[in-house]
Amino acid sequence: MGSTHSMENDKIILGDTEVLKTDLLTLNMGPQHPATHGVLRVEIKTDSEVVVEATPHLGYLHRCMEKHCEHLDYRGVIPFVDRLDYLAAMNMEMGYVLAVEKMLGTEVPKRAWYVRTIVLELQRIASHLMYFGTYAIDLGAFSPFLYAFQDRENILRLFEEISGARLLYNYIWIGGVWNDLNDEQLARIKKFLGEWEENFKKYNALVGENKIFIGRTANVGVYTKEHVEDYGLTGPVLRGSGIKWDLRKDRTYGIYDQLEFNVPVGEGLKGQLGDCWDRYFVRMQEMNESIKIIRQCLDGIEEGPVMAKVSKIIKLPEGEIYTRTECPRGELGIHIISDGGKTPYRLKVKSPCFTHVSSLPAIAPGMMIADLVASIGSIDIVLGEVDR
Amino acid sequence: MLNSIDKRVVELLNANLPEAKAVLKEVTVGHGSVTVSAEKILEVCQFLKQHEELKLRTLQVITGTDYPTVSEIEITYVLCSLEKNHELLLKVRVPRSKDVSDLNALPKVPSVVSVYAAANFQERECYDMLGVNFTGHPDLRRILCAEGWEGHPLRKDYVPAEKYLDMVINPAHKVNTEDHFFGKKLKEQMDNPKLVSWSWKDDSETTEESAGE
Amino acid sequence: MCPFFCNEFGAKMQDSVVLMKVDDFLNWGRKNSLWPMTFGLACCAIEMMATGAAKYDLERFGCGAFMATPRRADLMIVAGTVTLKMAPRIKTLFEQMPEPKYVISMGSCANKGGPYWQHGYHVLKGVDEIVPVDVYVPGCPPRPEALIEGLMTLQKKIANERLLKNKWVKHA
């Protein structure tokens, strides 16, 4: 009773007697793990429950996409780009198609841009709903997962009607989109938006304002402004740390410059600025902003074709291009080097989740294993994108 | 290109770091770039990061491309600045080595991990895919390919292995070339081949017709 | 009607006694409570999760309890691309599952390598190179209804098994 114990040089000293010699325990989280969102392996060295070092190991889903695309022509790459971040397939396609269109100088019709924006923002909502559901499961709550998937089913049903597939669409083509939205589908989207307000309040009350959720996520996994700069973090992780930067506003593409929406930023409402709760807050607010954007698009959509006239064999001029687009997980960078032929000479995908995973070793020391699970969930990684 | 700072970067580098031998590449379509010498990449990055006018404090990605015809590997660093809202494609070129067996045989580039922490994983990927040795990297090992992998896949002369451990990578009974080219065969058999639209297999078409028919 | 039920006692018991083969009875119990292991690798995992969610409920087939540990699971649904780095781990997990165990190969990638069959140097062309597969579900990704059909095919397969003649009982 009343003993002091200190850790020095791996020994526990109780009072005057040297009692135990301890070591760090090396644990393996993954690759098969219910809470790592895919095949990520994190090797943790822990001192009882406190993590001392965490090393992520990647490559368990390396599908050789970049090498594969060197053998495919520019249109054939689109299904492979889909399968990178499979939860935000439309945004991936948009990033790639934007790069090709910039090099070609294609004039995309106005209606195609409206349809693209509607579809992109719906995909953003679907992706954030997925985050909401799986994050709640990570922290132990099961019902939000079912609510989120029910809403997602509405969006996926619409995507299935317009593109033919539920998850991986191959819908945004070079020069526009391949199928049009008819009036009945537009009316259905409007109805979905109408039901959103109530759903959002329900989700916030169930999870966001929940005492246990706040206890698990506030002051956990804090990314400071230095982390953001050093590691090149983007997307909701960047905005959760208080920096107002959104590629749709600052490096605008498409018709985003004609639409009015805010950029939600973390404010440190429940704890330190840049913690997991802030990132959750940013993603929930982003869904609201997406609703605003879709409403404006529905009001402003014009009649017209949805596909520009593009040559049958697409050959990019010699040179290279690097395009940046805002995806639900961060900033997607597509780097294409072309030698004038039918296939890309080099296609490099800068995946936002790859850089986010590389920042895990920086915030892991000092947190408990349960906090590590909460942090990994809050940066919302998708391994298809990380490993390509 | 919009927001292009390449010219300004070359001016500043030639004024302050002439040994980096910065060369500008200006283009009308796509992105221009600045090429510097490989040995001085660390000093160049330090200069670009702390320069008041440029403030290129974020490293987005490090990619590599293999050019076997000129026997070089080109490594591209994409730096960007959130405050000033601009980006830069910085390139270095190193001679390509055919021998990839040993770490010392690979072309060497100084690592920029001390300047940009994001470079850690990016350089490991470049090493894994292209076989470039980043000297000074704290932990240079393969990141994407499996343990014990031989060869660097994104090189143009990479020959995929036959087996890994005891698994055959491309078993003959799983490769279905019969069905894969049936579009081409169908086109050869039909009276009106234009009814079959398999645009990516058309090596014989030289005229560019517009789509949307 | 069986003469056993012709007396009074028999009449009371006829609603509480069921006559069936031991095989059928055990198979009925086993096929209606297959517990899958959470083994989502890539995009097909999302469709597996959607199948487990409210709209296409997997719970009503008895597969509601997704076990994270292989030691308690009977069914491994390999959903997603199998890469060479992941393959030894899949084999280990399969060996850790207690028998009787089944494997459903879900999706094009797990069946034969999927869209990466041609130039995928790091992709295993089908999970049946390392584990024995019972049911293949095609699709990229397969719809939830397709996965449920695959599950029902597996249930039919289990219903036709004869435990006493089967290899597991022989070993015991």
Note whether C27 contacts A: Cβ–Cβ < 8 A.
no
Note whether C126 contacts B: Cβ–Cβ < 8 A.
yes
Count of other CB atoms within 10 angstroms of residue A290: 24
For residue range A307-340, list pLDDT tens digits in order. Answer: 888 888 888 899 999 999 999 999 999 999 999 8
In a domain, A236, yes or no: yes
The predicted structure's pLDDT at residue B83: 86
Note whether B174 contacts C: Cβ–Cβ < 8 A.
yes
Backbone angles phi, psi at A130, to 5 degrees: -60, -45
The predicted structure's pLDDT at residue A351: 92
d(CA A91, CA A326): 8
Q: Is the pLDDT of residue C145 over 80?
A: yes
Q: Is the pLDDT of residue A11 over 70?
A: no
Q: Which residues of C touch A63 (CB under 8 A)?
A: 42, 81, 83, 116, 120, 122-123
In a domain, A12, yes or no: no
CATH assignment at residue A116: 1.10.645.10
Find the closest chain A residue to B210 by CA distance: A311
Q: Do B145 and C126 lie within an 8 Å CB cutoff?
A: no
The predicted structure's pLDDT at residue A16: 62
The predicted structure's pLDDT at residue B201: 45
A51's enclosing H/E stretch is: strand A50-57
Q: Which residues of C touch B160 (CB under 8 A)?
A: 121
The CA–CA distances, whole Å, from A78 to A83, A93, A165, A170 equal 9, 6, 14, 6
In a domain, A50, yes or no: no
d(CA A347, CA C119): 15
d(CA B6, CA A165): 43
DSSP E strand stretches across chain B: 23-25, 33-35, 58-67, 72-81, 86-95, 108-110, 133-135, 163-164, 167-168
> What percent of chain C is helix, strand and coil (3-state, nearest 5)?
45, 10, 40
CB pairs under 8 A between A and B: 122
d(CA A235, CA A345): 29
- Among residues B77, B68, B76, the alpha carbon closest in space to that of B97 is found at B68
For residue range B67-92, list pLDDT tens digits in order. Answer: 999 999 999 999 998 888 888 899 99
Cα angle at B99 between B93 and B101, to 5 degrees?
115
For residue range B89-142, list pLDDT tens digits in order. Answer: 999 999 988 777 778 888 889 999 999 999 999 999 999 999 899 999 988 888
List B residues 150-189 in contact with A (Cβ-Cβ < 8 A). 153-154, 158
Interface test with A, best of C122, C124, C131 (most A CBs within 10 A): C122
Note whether C20 contacts A: Cβ–Cβ < 8 A.
no
What is the C-alpha end-to-end distance of chain B, expressed in Å? 34
Query: Which pair of tokens denotes residue A291?
Result: 């609703």
Note whether B209 contacts A: Cβ–Cβ < 8 A.
yes
Domain of residue A139 covers 65-359
- Give the closest of C118, C121, C130 to B153, CB-based: C121
Question: Average pLDDT in the A72-92 region?
Answer: 91
For residue range A155-190, list pLDDT tens digits in order. Answer: 999 899 888 889 999 999 998 998 888 888 999 899
List, in order, residues 6 or more apart from B172 with CB less than 8 Å away: none
Q: Which residues pair with A12 in a beta bridge?
A: A7, A20
d(CA B134, CA B94): 12
Residue located via tokens 């034969």: C112
For residue range C56-80, list pLDDT tens digits in order. Answer: 988 899 887 788 888 999 899 999 9
**pTM for this structure?**
0.89
d(CA C109, CA B175): 13
Backbone angles phi, psi at C121, to 5 degrees: -85, -15
Q: Which residues pair with C36 in a beta bridge?
A: C75
d(CA A336, CA B54): 25
In a domain, A309, yes or no: yes
Closest-CA distance of chain A to residue C89, Å: 8
d(CA A294, CA C126): 41
Find the closest chain A residue to C66 by CA distance: A34
Note whether B196 contacts A: Cβ–Cβ < 8 A.
no
Question: Average pLDDT in the A17-28 region?
Answer: 76
Mean pLDDT (chain B) is 82
Q: Is the pLDDT of residue B199 over 60?
A: no
Q: Do A32 and C39 lie within an 8 Å CB cutoff?
A: yes
CB pairs under 8 A between B and C: 38
Query: Residue type for C9, please?
Result: F
Closest-CA distance of chain A to residue C14, Å: 43
Q: Do B158 and C117 lie within an 8 Å CB cutoff?
A: no
In a domain, A329, yes or no: yes
Note whether A76 contacts B: Cβ–Cβ < 8 A.
yes
Chains within contact range of chain C (3+ C-beta pairs < 8 Å): A, B
In a domain, A124, yes or no: yes
- Number of C-alpha atoms within 13 angstroms, CB side, residue C17? 10
Mean pLDDT (chain C) is 85
Letter string b/e over residues B170-204, b meaning 16 or more CB atoms within 10 A of that residue's CB: beeebeeeeeeeebbeebeeeeeeeebeeebebee
For residue range A48-62, list pLDDT tens digits in order. Answer: 888 999 999 998 999
d(CA B194, CA B205): 11
In a domain, A385, yes or no: no
Letter string b/e over residues C44-81, b meaning 16 or more CB atoms within 10 A of that residue's CB: bbbbbbbbbbeebebeebbbeebbeebeebbbbbbbbb
**Torsion sign across C-alpha atoms A28, A34, A40, A45:** negative
In a domain, A37, yes or no: no
The predicted structure's pLDDT at residue B207: 38
Q: Do A153 and C55 lie within an 8 Å CB cutoff?
A: yes
List C residues 53-82 in contact with A (Cβ-Cβ < 8 A). 53-55, 68, 80-81
- Give the closest of A33, A62, A80 to C85, CB-based: A62
Give the SS3 label for residue A125.
Answer: helix
Q: Assign residue C70 a region: left if phi > 0, alpha if psi is -120 to 50, beta otherwise?
A: alpha
Number of domains comprising chain A = 1
Question: How big is chain C by its Cα radius of gyration, in Å?
Answer: 20
Question: Average pLDDT in the C106-118 region?
Answer: 89
Find the closest chain A residue to B28 by CA distance: A319
List, in order, residues 6 or more apart from C103 with CB less than 8 Å away: C75, C76, C77, C78, C94, C127, C131, C132, C133, C134, C135
C167 or C17, which is more confident: C17
Find the closest chain B residue to C88 by CA distance: B165
